[in-house]
Amino acid sequence: MAKVTRGELIYEGKAKRVYNTPDDGLCIMEFKDSATAFNGQKRGEIQDKGILNALLSVHFFNLLEKNGVPTHMVEPLSERELLVRRLAIVPVELVIRNIAAGSLAKRLGLEEGVPMPFPIVEMYYKRDDLGDPMINRNHARALDLAGDTELDRMESLGLMVNSILRKELAGVGIELVDFKLEFGLEASGPNSGRILLGDEISPDTCRFWDTATKEKLDKDRFRRDLGGVEEAYREVVRRVIGG
């Protein structure tokens, strides 16, 4: 792990803090134990969540990089911190759904757990004050959030991520139900403007179900007051990484 000087706080979100470094092209991303749901209406703390999510994000980012998906991760700095490339975040989140759950089941009147015939790709406007509303390509273009080239690349990468993660997780008895991805444009350097996968990949941003029992192993345990939240996160780490 490299020794990198942590500069001023430049952003604090629901689950992470981002700090400057002496290199304008790099930032430090720190994972918090804070948990939120329903656009911040429900709040709490999950013991060691930041450590567990950092572990999983490092593992999944490394896996994706090896399989041709460019990410913002450079290297882990500590049990809670990653050195990442600075991105100009595209304010369009992708949600990829393999199985009906959450808002998809409610919106379409589907029973939770119904498999989709193919991965469903949805777009959401990244605006906390608006509740991150669902949008389509026309909205994204009309609001100048992203162009067709960027959206095509994001969707292509998102489907690659889905395929890679589903295969990896199936081997440890976990179904990838759905998940959220964020992308950004590399801010500087020889690859300036390249689209990279950002944020994190963890039980905070993915729905993970046990393949056999359908037990929830993700933040839905917090959202729905199911209990055993920390244990579920630890179980995902145990299966995916070991230990």
CATH architecture of 9-87: 2-Layer Sandwich (3.30)
Q: Would you tell me the crossing angle of helices 148-170 and 49-66 to the nearest 10 degrees?
A: 110
The sign of the torsion formed by the CA atoms of 59, 28, 129, 193 equals negative
Q: Specify the pLDDT at position 40.
A: 58
The pLDDT value recorded for residue 38 is 60
Output 35-42 pairs: Cβ under 8 A, ≥24 positions apart.
35/204, 35/219, 35/222, 35/229, 37/219, 37/222, 37/223, 38/223, 39/128, 39/131, 39/132, 40/14, 40/128, 42/222, 42/223
Judge whether 9-87 and 90-232 match in fold.
no
- Please report the pLDDT score of residue 111 as a whole number: 96
Residues of the chain where predicted confidence (pLDDT) is lower than 50: none
The pTM of the full predicted model, rounded to 2 decimals, is 0.93
Domain range annotation of the chain:
9-87, 90-232
Predicted pLDDT of residue 2: 59
What local confidence, expressed as pLDDT, does residue 34 receive?
Answer: 80
Render pLDDT for 167-221 as a digit per residue (tens, 0 to 9). 999 999 999 999 999 999 998 777 788 999 999 999 999 999 999 999 999 999 9
**Cβ atoms 191, 205 nearer than 8 A:** no
Look at residue 37 in the predicted model and tell me its pLDDT. 67
Q: How do residues 159-169 score in pLDDT, each as one tens digit? A: 999 999 999 99
CATH code of the domain made up of 90-232: 3.30.470.20
Evaluate whether 203 touches 217 at the Cβ level (below 8 Å): yes
**Residue whose entry in the numeric block shows the structure tokens 């498999």:** 115
**How high is the pLDDT of residue 149?**
95
